[in-house]
Amino acid sequence: MKRFFLASALLALAFSALAQTQDPLDRDQSKYATYSFSNDDKYTVETPYETVTVVQPKGKKVKNVIFMIGDGTGLSQWSVGWVANGGALNVDQMPVAGYSRTYCTDKLVTDSCAGGTALAIREKTKYGYIGVDENGEPVESNLQYAKRKGMKTGVTVTCRINDATPADFCIHGTSRKDEEGLAAQYVDANVDFISGGGTHFWNQRSDGRNLIEEMKAKGYTYVDKLEDIAGAEGDKFLGLYDEYDLKPALDRGPILLESTKKAIEMLDNKKGFFLMVEGSQIDDWCHRNKVGYAIEELFDFDKTIGYVLEWAAKDGQTLVVVTADHNTGGLTLLKGSIEERTVKVHFSTKGHDGIVVPVFAFGPGAEAFSGVHENSEVGQIVRKLMK
């Protein structure tokens, strides 16, 4: 009998260990859920955050552009987040809304490379292409155009900085798998403010180069901790906070918000600036079909939107655009409660889908984004308003 109980106990421990090693991200943390997080289709928010109130500026001049991308974030993600935060989001304050069709030249359902590139270079391209046209030729992005005009430029993201979306705006390539090659292009990209993850591709490279030291030699202030962002000095900024992508939203802290604040502080000048901000991991957690993590990433992004809107409302010459490169997860809101801030959802896929995504706009020129657009047209409108 003792042998039976001992064997049963060992078997139970083995199953428990197996369950714990299947997915290290499947954690039971009260800060992400009020129940076992194995129920990835449900989520309850205990404490909602306060949202801002802003008034659309009356001016017409566009001096600055803050282009914000919620990776994989469609109408469903915004709807689920709205319920979970008790019926209020900062993006609600943006007075103009439209839609963007996200297909690329060779596939109906795009990826972040082609989807982001269309927004950045103003033309559609092939699946997997980064900052190049469908023939693989580099095309000047809106960020690079801003730099050529004498404006300051920046990108801040929660993924590795050499991942698809930031690369779409800053550099060029035909494969996201060339991660070391993409990272190396940043040394000569002359982007004033760079913030994200991916140190592995900067100082643990197969070619022995230390790109961080090369950037410091070019005058960049290097930061690798959240608490050091606010105090960073100088005209150029490089922030890399993790070896690969950043940790989940509630684990990493407000890096996206604080880096966006710092970017605006450092980039603001008489000639204007172009800043791309990405809520990168909304997409990642929709791929994993984990609604709680996805919502917290969306909240992190929306809190950053709130700060940007308040700053832009005071500035009066800043166009703010919020959109997505594509939709992810086939997310459906099945039921929930606004009062109880609870949702139950269904994911129909772990991949992308071809549903249109929203485009929100605030500031001078915002009305141009109303209606239905190709994703490339969204980039075209931004370029026109920058002239």
d(CA 308, CA 68): 10
Write the CB contacts of 15 (distance below 8 Å, at least 6 apart in sequence).
none
Cβ atoms of 378 and 119 within 8 Å: the answer is yes
H-run or E-run covering 347:
strand 342-347
Q: Give the SS3 label for residue 139.
A: coil
Using left for φ > 0, alpha for ψ between -120 and 50, and beta otherwise, residue 215 falls in alpha
112 is catalytic: yes
* Residue 123 DSSP label: S
Which among 112, 141, 259, 376 is annotated as catalytic?
112
Distance CA 144, CA 171 (A): 9
Q: Using only C-alpha atoms, what is the Rg of the chain? A: 21
- The dihedrals phi and psi of 350, each to the nearest 5 degrees, come to -100, 10
Eight-class DSSP state of 255: H
CA–CA distance, 164 with 241 (Å, rounded to integer): 18
Tokens 């929100």, located at residue: 360
Residue numbers annotated as active site: 112
